[in-house]
């Protein structure tokens, strides 16, 4: 039986590409986070670079340098300052817990005693009648969380040099991705072993979801967290900035949102007879923080990403568990590409659109 030389050569070339791609991935694995955020920053700030390029009469290097300068002072520096303030407040709360100034057992008893009798009996029947029982049920999870947080906090000092190296690599890569992204992106799409319309559709979905996640979810979460911190400061809650940051993180989760932070706070304030403070928190949570998403997201995003809320929730949580902070973006992107890819497959085979596809079109 004659061997088709062309097929053998084609198979060998594909094998070579697969192996060399895996090898490159292994080599740059330690910088994958920096490379990912460099690509996301280049994608997000490409319009700013293009406007800068027009104003500077096509001087690309100067336009990129000015764009990176704006990114550094408008995004990176404020983020580092905010992180340092949150860490200081977290350390203060920890010291107050150790000294007994913050007593969660007393807080729990106050809330428990203020509940209706039937609800208290229901909690007692499930073993949540005292803080000691709750603490015993949650001790394993809490100890694991504290251990992880402590390890991460200690690793900041030990890995300062590695962080600076990764940050420098990310900034350097962002420079070239911004400068050459106008032709690099289309070149990658053309090189994909897919039909041109499918590749273009996947690329468009990738860009839309990345910008929606960062511009929409990220900015809206920061705004909601800031409003929450201001609200907690008004009612006199200690470490308001820390709770606001937790609210910003919770706001990244659809269907749950910042209510999982301000809701328990309002319940505690009501249980401790802090009526006006609880009223302020509830009013701010419903009328200000809750409406910020509905007002800002259409302005920042401009269109729906076509991903069901439940899938965004699951993929965001799964992405955070698998990749850390990068999973906030990677999770929804993978979900969007999954939906788009299967829709393209269904359309090629003449299969009617699925319910997910119908939801995306709406």
pLDDT tens readout for residues 68-114:
898 888 888 887 787 777 777 777 766 766 666 555 555 566 665 66
Asked whether residue 108 is domain-assigned, the answer is no
Residues 333 and 358 reside in one and the same domain:
yes
Domain termination residue (choose one: 191, 207, 232): 191
Residues 275 and 222 reside in one and the same domain:
yes
Residues 172 and 201 reside in one and the same domain:
no
Residues 244 and 206 reside in one and the same domain:
yes
Residues 334 and 361 reside in one and the same domain:
yes
Q: Which residues lie closer than 8 Å to 181 by C-beta, 6 or more apart?
A: 42, 43, 46, 49
Q: Which structural domain, as residue segments, surrounds residue 82?
A: 30-101+162-191
Domain termination residue (choose one: 142, 172, 191): 191
Q: What is the tens place of the pLDDT at every residue in 121-166?
A: 666 665 555 545 554 554 444 444 444 444 555 555 556 666 777 7
Instruction: Please give the tally of structural domains in the chain.
Output: 2
Residues 176 and 294 reside in one and the same domain:
no
Asked whether residue 184 is domain-assigned, the answer is yes
State the pLDDT confidence band at 184, using cuts at 50, 70 and 90.
confident
Asked whether residue 63 is domain-assigned, the answer is yes
Asked whether residue 22 is domain-assigned, the answer is no
Asked whether residue 129 is domain-assigned, the answer is no
State the pLDDT confidence band at 315, using cuts at 50, 70 and 90.
confident
pLDDT of residue 359: 45
**Residue 39 CB neighbours (<10 A):** 17
Phi then psi for residue 128, to 5 deg, are -115, 35
Residues 202 and 184 reside in one and the same domain:
no
Asked whether residue 69 is domain-assigned, the answer is yes
Asked whether residue 21 is domain-assigned, the answer is no
Residues 225 and 269 reside in one and the same domain:
yes
Residues 187 and 38 reside in one and the same domain:
yes
Percent with pLDDT over 90 in the chain: 1
Domain termination residue (choose one: 191, 211, 245): 191
Whether the predicted model's global pTM rises above the 0.75 cut: no
Residues 271 and 178 reside in one and the same domain:
no
Question: Per mean pLDDT, which range of 106-120, 193-207, 210-224 is the poorest?
Answer: 106-120
Residues 179 and 201 reside in one and the same domain:
no
Checking if the pLDDT of 2 tops 80, the result is no
Q: Which residues lie closer than 8 Å to 345 by C-beta, 6 or more apart?
A: none
Residues 225 and 166 reside in one and the same domain:
no
Asked whether residue 303 is domain-assigned, the answer is yes
Q: What is the tens place of the pLDDT at every residue in 279-299?
A: 988 888 888 887 887 777 666
């Amino acid at each position: 039986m004659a061997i088709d030389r062309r097929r053998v050569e084609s198979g060998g070339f594909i094998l070579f590409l697969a192996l060399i791609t895996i090898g490159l991935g292994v080599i740059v694995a330690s910088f994958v986070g920096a490379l990912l955020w460099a690509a996301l920053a280049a994608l997000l700030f490409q319009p700013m670079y293009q406007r800068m390029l027009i104003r500077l009469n096509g001087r690309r290097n100067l336009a990129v340098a000015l764009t990176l300068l704006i990114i550094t002072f408008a995004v990176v520096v404020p983020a580092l300052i905010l992180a340092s303030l949150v860490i200081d407040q977290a350390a203060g709360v920890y010291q107050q817990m150790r000294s007994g100034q913050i007593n969660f057992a007393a807080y729990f008893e106050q809330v428990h005693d203020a509940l209706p009798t039937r609800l208290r009996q229901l909690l007692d029947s499930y073993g949540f009648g005292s803080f000691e029982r709750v603490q015993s049920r949650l001790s394993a999870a809490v100890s694991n969380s504290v251990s992880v947080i402590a390890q991460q906090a200690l690793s900041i000092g030990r890995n300062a040099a590695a962080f600076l190296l990764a940050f420098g690599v990310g900034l350097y890569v962002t420079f070239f991705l911004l400068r050459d992204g106008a032709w690099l992106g289309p070149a990658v799409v053309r090189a994909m072993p897919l039909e041109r319309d499918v590749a273009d559709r996947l690329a468009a979905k990738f860009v839309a979801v990345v910008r929606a996640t960062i511009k929409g979810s990220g900015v809206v979460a920061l705004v909601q967290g800031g409003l929450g911190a201001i609200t907690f400061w008004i009612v006199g809650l200690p470490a308001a900035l820390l709770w606001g940051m937790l609210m910003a993180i919770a706001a990244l989760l659809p269907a749950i949102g910042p209510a999982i932070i301000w809701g328990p706070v309002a319940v505690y304030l009501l249980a401790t007879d802090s009526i006006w403070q609880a009223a302020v928190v509830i009013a701010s949570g419903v009328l200000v923080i809750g409406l910020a998403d509905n007002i800002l997201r259409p302005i920042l995003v401009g269109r729906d990403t076509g991903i069901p809320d439940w899938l965004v929730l699951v993929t965001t949580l799964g992405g955070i568990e698998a990749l850390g902070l990068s999973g906030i973006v990677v999770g929804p992107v993978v979900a969007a590409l999954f939906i788009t890819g299967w829709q393209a497959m269904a359309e090629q085979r003449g299969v009617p659109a699925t319910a997910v596809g119908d939801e995306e079109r709406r």
